Structures are given as C-alpha cells and as structure tokens.
C-alpha cells in the first residue's frame, strides 16, 4: 500500500512539471502565463514562443504522461493499474503544484498516458488530431474531437479500465476547453496559420 501511494504521488508530481514555464523562462526569458491564453500547455507555447519551443513542450508533456503511467511496471507494483496512475499525472498537469495550480488543458499528457498503455490508440489520435486541425484550423476543437474519437475507439476494446479512463480524460479535455468552445461558437477563437 505504501508503494502504491508513493507511485500515485510521483505520478502527480511528474504531471506537475510545468514544461512550458521551464522552457519559456530558461530559454526565452518569458513566463508564458503572462502571454497569449495564459495557459502552460503546448498550444500557448507555440503561439507565444514559436514552433521549436511548442514542439519541445508538447513532447515533454506527452512523455511525462507516458513515464507516470509506466511507474507501476518500473517499480513492480503489479496490482496498481497504469491507467489509474496516469490519471494522477493528468491532474498534476492541469493543477500543477509547481506552478500555482494553473496548468495545461490535459491533451498532451492524456495522450502520453494512452501511449504507455495502448500505442495504437495514441497513433490513431495523432492522425485524427492532425486531420481535424488541417480541416478546421482550431487546436481546441481538434483536441476535443480527438478525445471523443478516443472514447468511441475504447468502447470497441471491451477493456473496462480503458473505457472508464478514456471517458474521464475526454471529460477533462472538454471541461478545460469550455472557454474555447464558447469562443468557437462566437467565431472569436484564433485559428492556426502554419497548417
């Protein structure tokens, strides 16, 4: 039980690592929370610091989800489901203790959790995300549609933990994008220009 608690705390702390804040301050002298949407995730990093920084932050946010979800395997805690551990990393990403509990929108880290558990689903999510992004030019809408598509996919797996966790992660993504949904409705949501 003590090991399980340690793993869950570690997962939250891993998720709490504010990649966007670290990259912004260390290499650009900027606190990205004071620019763009004020969000710590990859999208605001792309918008505020450029493509190179955005890619680094997005990959880091994916990998911290992957590493966190892999902790039960790495630490031989077989009775602790890796998807459950991954959820705590996503909570850490959204509400990071290292950044005043103001974090990202759960997209990349959720993807990283699923990459650890079912890589094929992660690959499909990437494809769906970029097709949607190419068509709509909205990162937020593409993120929401990808979450919904992942949940639909999970229903065909008959893997109950996957179904439950993907439902939870998709709900996180939609909830964290509620302001974006309102802006899309009002046609004030910014579109990307690089794709």
Taking only the tens of pLDDT, the chain with its 195 residues reads 799 999 999 999 999 999 999 999 999 999 998 888 788 888 889 888 988 999 999 999 999 999 999 999 999 998 899 999 999 999 999 999 999 999 999 999 999 999 999 999 999 999 999 999 999 999 999 999 999 999 999 999 999 999 999 999 999 999 999 999 999 999 999 888 877
8 A C-beta contact, residue 154 and residue 166: yes
Task: State the pLDDT at residue 55.
Answer: 93
Burial (CB count <10 Å: 0-12, 13-18, 19+), residue 12: buried
Task: State the pLDDT at residue 150.
Answer: 98
Tell me how far the alpha carbon of residue 68 is from its chain's centroid: 12
Query: What is the distance between the alpha carbons of residues 125 and 150, in angstroms, rounded to a whole number?
Result: 7
Domain locations in the chain? 2-185
Query: What is the distance between the alpha carbons of residues 121 and 114, in angstroms, rounded to a whole number?
Result: 7
User: What predicted TM-score, i.e. pTM, was given to this entire model?
Assistant: 0.94
3-state secondary structure of 51: helix
For residue 128 the two structure tokens come to 């769906």
């Amino acid at each position: 039980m003590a090991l399980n608690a340690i793993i869950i705390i570690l997962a939250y702390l891993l998720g709490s690592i504010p990649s966007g804040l670290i990259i912004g301050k260390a290499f650009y002298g900027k606190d990205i929370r004071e620019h763009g949407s004020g969000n710590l995730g990859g999208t605001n990093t792309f918008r505020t610091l450029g493509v190179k920084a955005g890619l680094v932050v997005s990959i880091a946010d994916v990998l911290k989800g992957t590493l966190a979800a892999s902790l039960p395997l790495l630490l031989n805690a077989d009775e602790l489901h890796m998807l459950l551990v991954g959820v705590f990393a996503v909570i850490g990403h959204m509400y990071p203790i290292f950044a005043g509990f103001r974090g990202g929108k759960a997209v990349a880290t959720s993807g990283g959790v699923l990459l650890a558990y079912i890589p094929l689903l992660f690959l499909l999510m990437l494809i769906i995300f970029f097709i949607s992004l190419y068509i709509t030019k909205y990162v937020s809408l593409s993120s929401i549609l990808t979450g919904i598509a992942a949940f639909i996919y999970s229903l065909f797996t008959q893997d109950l933990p996957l179904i439950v966790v993907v439902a939870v992660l998709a709900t996180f993504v939609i909830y964290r994008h509620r302001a974006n949904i309102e802006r899309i409705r009002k046609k004030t949501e910014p579109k990307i220009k690089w794709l």
